[in-house]
């Protein structure tokens, strides 16, 4: 506890970096996963290879991906961009299936009505199908957010500073306080991400509130 009070500003600055490294990929990953998920749903032939292919990305150990990133994108090993790109890859791996299944859960009658009302394919996707898929996509985003916060901490092994640095630092000095503080901060951060996603989901799905109130 005293260790924490003495190092509040350090912990806060590491938390800020952690938010950046885990949060930016979450948004980027969603933006990339939407078109891929849409393709997988639109063309049945593409569904198995796209879902399997993106699923494969998730089997790459995070430590390995962080280390190997410079080889693929030509950055320096300590560049935080490596972590952002690697985390984006994991987010895409998790979200493509969710987006595809979410779009698939939109009732056929709804898409047909939209077409009948004159919606063209792209406008129908953004105005009708995506909004209706929000609850399913949001469930996937929550899993991705929690998993991102945890995975980012591994980047401390390659020396990119964020809350995981408290783990490596504490372990090196045989000192549990920073590690415990780091774990608590990570869990709190994951909960915060979760709450933010729930709040955004509520804003985007007003009809669910009406339905809940009607019960």
Partner 1 sequence: MNDVLSWLTASAHWSGEDGIPQRLLEHLYYSGVALLIAAVIAIPLGLFVGHTGRGRFVVVNAAGAARAVPSLGLLFVSVLVLGPRLTGDTAFVVPCEIVLVVLAIPPILAGAYAGVEEVDPAVRDAAKGMGMRGPEVLARVEIPCALPLIFSGLRSGALQVVATATIAATVGLGGLGRFLIDGLAVRDYSQMAAGAVLVAVLALVVDLGFALIQRYAVSPGLTGRIGTRLGAERNEALAPSVTSADTRESGRA
Does residue 171 touch partner 1 according to CB under 8 A? yes
Does residue 58 touch partner 1 according to CB under 8 A? yes
C-alpha radius of gyration, the chain, whole number:
20
Query: Cβ(21)–Cβ(87) under 8 Å?
Result: yes
- Nearest-angstrom CA–CA distance, 3 and 170: 11
- Nearest-angstrom CA–CA distance, 211 and 21: 37
Q: Single out the residue of 31, 56, 195, 199 in contact with partner 1 (rule: CB under 8 A).
A: 56
Q: Single out the residue of 84, 130, 151, 160 in contact with partner 1 (rule: CB under 8 A).
A: 151
Q: Single out the residue of 23, 37, 161, 170 in contact with partner 1 (rule: CB under 8 A).
A: 170
- Nearest-angstrom CA–CA distance, 166 and 170: 6
- Cα-based angle 156, 84, 139 (whole degrees, multiple of 5): 105
**Window of 5-13, 47-55, 113-121, 201-209 that interacts with partner 1 by CB under 8 A:** 47-55
Q: Single out the residue of 16, 27, 43, 61 in contact with partner 1 (rule: CB under 8 A).
A: 61
Name which of residues 89 to 148 contact partner 1 (CB under 8 A). Answer: 93-94, 97-98, 136, 139-140, 142-143, 146-147
- Nearest-angstrom CA–CA distance, 190 and 213: 29
Does residue 25 touch partner 1 according to CB under 8 A? no
**Shortest approach of partner 1 to residue 9 CB, angstroms?**
20
């Amino acid at each position: 506890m005293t260790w924490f009070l003495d190092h509040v500003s350090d912990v806060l600055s590491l938390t800020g970096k952690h938010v950046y490294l885990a949060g930016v990929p979450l948004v980027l990953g969603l933006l990339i996963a939407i078109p891929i998920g849409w393709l997988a749903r639109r063309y049945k032939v593409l569904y198995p290879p796209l879902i399997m292919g993106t699923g494969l990305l998730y089997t790459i150990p995070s430590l390995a991906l962080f280390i190997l990133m410079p080889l693929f994108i030509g950055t320096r090993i300590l560049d935080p961009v490596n972590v952002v790109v690697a985390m984006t890859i994991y987010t895409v791996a998790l979200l493509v299936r969710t987006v595809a299944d979410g779009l698939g859960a939109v009732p056929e009658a709804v898409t047909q009505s939209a077409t009948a009302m004159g919606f063209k394919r792209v406008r129908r996707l953004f105005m009708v199908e995506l909004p209706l898929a929000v609850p399913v996509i949001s469930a996937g985003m929550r899993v991705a957010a929690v998993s991102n916060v945890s995975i980012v901490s591994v980047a401390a092994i390659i020396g990119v500073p964020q809350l995981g640095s408290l783990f490596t630092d504490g372990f090196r000095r045989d000192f549990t306080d920073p590690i415990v503080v780091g774990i608590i901060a990570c869990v709190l951060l994951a909960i915060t991400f979760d709450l933010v996603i729930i709040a955004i989901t509520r804003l985007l799905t007003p009809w669910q509130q009406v339905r809940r109130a009607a019960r």
